[in-house]
């Protein structure tokens, strides 16, 4: 039908989503502040460190990987943590990641503690961590937030 080829249907669906207040995941993330506040940065660092040393609570790592975040930067950290087992598969059964993955987490914790709001090094670190395992890097343009 011509409505599919002339773009009418996609515009109608976008208008309907807007009318109903339905936002895509990218729109929801795009509406968040770009950088983490100090409390969110501190909490993420503590929870990731707790995961590394085995002291985090039973659902803390789940929150790090998938829980609602307050900033685009925290969402990027969450994406890295959620994909770490695929980026650096565990060598031992029952483990989440290998030694390289744990090293990435340790570096991330140190960076979270060393940086403050508006510092772009966390974004850069996450982007580099994704590029290291894929030849030629990866196009994170869909997932990467717009930097201000």
- Alpha carbons 36 and 16: distance in angstroms, whole number: 32
Average pLDDT over residues 39-56: 94
pLDDT surpasses 70 at 144 = no
Contact yes or no for 18/28 (Cβ under 8 A): no
pLDDT surpasses 90 at 19 = no
For the chain, the C-alpha Rg in angstroms (whole number) is 18
pTM of the model: 0.71
- Alpha carbons 135 and 48: distance in angstroms, whole number: 27
Which distant-in-sequence residues (6+ apart) come within 8 Å of 139 by Cβ?
Answer: none
pLDDT tens column, 24-34? 666 777 778 88
Residue matched to tokens 């890097």: 137
């Amino acid at each position: 039908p011509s409505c599919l080829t002339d773009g009418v249907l996609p515009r109608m669906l976008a208008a309907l989503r807007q009318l109903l207040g339905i936002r895509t995941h990218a729109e929801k993330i795009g509406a968040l502040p770009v950088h983490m506040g100090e409390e969110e940065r501190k909490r993420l660092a503590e929870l990731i460190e707790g995961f590394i040393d085995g002291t985090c609570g039973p659902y803390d790592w789940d929150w790090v990987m998938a829980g609602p975040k307050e900033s685009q930067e925290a969402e990027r950290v969450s994406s890295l943590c959620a994909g770490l087992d695929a980026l650096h598969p565990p060598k031992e059964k029952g483990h989440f990641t290998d030694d390289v993955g744990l090293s990435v987490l340790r570096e991330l914790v140190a960076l979270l503690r060393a940086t403050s709001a508006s510092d772009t090094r966390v974004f850069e670190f996450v982007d580099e961590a994704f590029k290291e395992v894929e030849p030629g890097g990866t196009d994170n343009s869909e997932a990467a937030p717009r930097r201000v």
